[in-house]
Amino acid sequence: MTERQNTVGRYAPSPTGDLHLGNLRTALIAWLHARVQKGVFLMRMEDVDTARVVAGSDKRLLSDLEWLGLDWDGEVIYQSQRLSMYQDVLADLDEQGLIYPCFCSRKDIRQASSAPHSTLGVYPGTCANLDAVKINELSKIKSPATRVRVPNYLKNDCGDFVLHRADGLFAYQLAVVVDDVKQGVTDVVRGSDLADSTLRQRYLAQLMYRQNPMGRSDAIRYHHVPLVLDDDGNRMSKRDGSFSTQQWRDAGRSAPELVAYLARSLNLIDGINALTANELVNSIELTDIVDVFM
Ligand code: GLU
């Protein structure tokens, strides 16, 4: 077995609004997971979906994280500045015949995936084998999305999925994996709402490692944090109208109080009302954090 290198963790928020406490809690646990192991912790803004980006929210988000006492190594990476890298990866996959243009509308996909022998919502590969003439013809009418061919074991779970959207934006699935691989991330810690993406991301990461035989050969580990916060099962999300970090700050509550509140909700501590993020790192062990993962 190859020896694992040091832990490289990351937090990869989308700057689409203010950081609510649920996000902050995920950031805290991702940070703790890296720092308890004396590992590296990276910060990445996932701003490829430009229509959803809210100007200035990146700065507010970083300020909230700093206020809480979290730190990161190196510069903050912005995905919007790495588009040519995603393009290069797509070109590599294209050379290997692993991607293809897809001209289907949402309606086409809905109809095709509800046919007998299909799995609802899973793309059945309608455009997987179009010939060059057909592709040329359809390209004159509309711009295609780009899908990656998945192996049989993934056909029913996710089907060939989109890496580049018809509207010209790179898909989250592509950008996130390219960055995790290129940045040498060993451990992804994120909210359980993204657990469904893991199969797709593992597969893409595998393809990328295959292209880079000199690089790491071991897989990224994915960990998911439940989004339920309290004993009453209240979920911390914007939708449920829960606090933003800013509201907490505006109410004059301190960062150590919030660290303690979040750490109690994760069962990392008991009966403590305030402690700094650094004090928390020094008072817990890796196994305490692993217990939080689903
Ligand atoms: N940018 C994604 C989000 O904010 C998280 C990506 C990830 O952690 O894999 O929902």
Domain spans of the chain? 8-82+173-290, 83-164
**pLDDT of 116 strictly over 80:** no
| pLDDT tens digits, one per residue of 131-156 | 999 999 999 999 999 999 999 989 88
Per mean pLDDT, which range of 86-95, 164-173, 234-243 is the poorest? 234-243
What pLDDT score does 236 carry? 55
Query: Using alpha carbons only, how large is the chain's radius of gyration in Å?
Result: 21
Longest CA–CA span in the chain (Å) reads 69
Pairing assessment for the beta strands 221-225 and 187-191 based on DSSP bridges = parallel
Strands (E), the chain: 8-11, 40-45, 77-78, 99-102, 145-148, 161-164, 187-191, 221-225
The burial class, CB within 10 Å (0-12 / 13-18 / 19+), for 198 is middle
Q: Which of 12, 8, 66 is nearest to 37 (CA)?
A: 8
**Is the CATH number of domain 8-82+173-290 2.40.33.20?**
no
User: Does residue 231 surpass a pLDDT of 70?
Assistant: no
Residue corresponding to tokens 């010209």 = 168
Q: Considering the chain, what is the average pLDDT of its residues?
A: 90
Nearby residues of 233 by Cβ (< 8 Å), 6 or more positions away: none
Residue 53, pLDDT above cutoff 70:
yes
pLDDT for 212 equals: 57
Residue 128 scores a pLDDT above 70 = yes
Ligand 1: nearest atom to the Cα of 189 = 8
Task: Tell me: pLDDT of 233 over 60.
Answer: no
What does the pLDDT read at residue 133? 97
Rounded distance from Cα 13 to ligand 1 centre (Å)? 5
Give percent of the chain with pLDDT exceeding 90: 74
Ligand 1 pocket mutation, candidates 46, 52, 169, 201, criterion most atoms within 8 A of CB: 46
Ligand 1 center from residue 44 Cα (angstroms)? 9
Q: How many CA atoms lie within 13 A of 27 on its CB side?
A: 30
Per-residue model confidence (pLDDT) at position 263: 94
**Which residue, among 146, 144, 222, has the nearest Cα to 186 in the 3D structure?**
222
Q: What percent of the chain has pLDDT over 70?
A: 90
Average pLDDT of 104-117? Answer: 82
The pLDDT tens digits of the residues spanning 182-222 come to 999 999 999 999 999 999 999 999 998 876 555 555 689 99
**Best CA proximity match to 60, nearest among 237, 257, 250, 274:** 250
| Ligand 1 centroid – CA 173 distance (Å) | 10
- For residue 282 the two structure tokens come to 């020094």
Q: CA 249 → CA 4, 144, 196, 243, distances in Å?
A: 39, 46, 33, 10
Per-residue pLDDT at 228: 65
Q: In the structure, which protein residues have their CB atom closer than 6 angstroms to any atom of ligand 1?
A: 12-14, 46, 176, 188, 190, 194
Residue 26 scores a pLDDT above 50: yes
Q: What is the pTM of this model?
A: 0.92
- Residue 29 reports pLDDT greater than 90: yes
Q: How far is the CA of 147 from the centre of ligand 1 (A)?
A: 20
Cβ proximity of 60 and 31 under 8 Å: no
**What is the CATH number assigned to the segment(s) 83-164?**
3.90.800.10
For residue 216, the model assigns a pLDDT of 53
Q: How far is the CA of 136 from the centre of ligand 1 (A)?
A: 35
Per-residue pLDDT at 238:
45
Segment 220-237 shows an average pLDDT of: 72
Q: What does DSSP say about strands 221-225 and 161-164: parallel, antiparallel, or unpaired?
A: unpaired
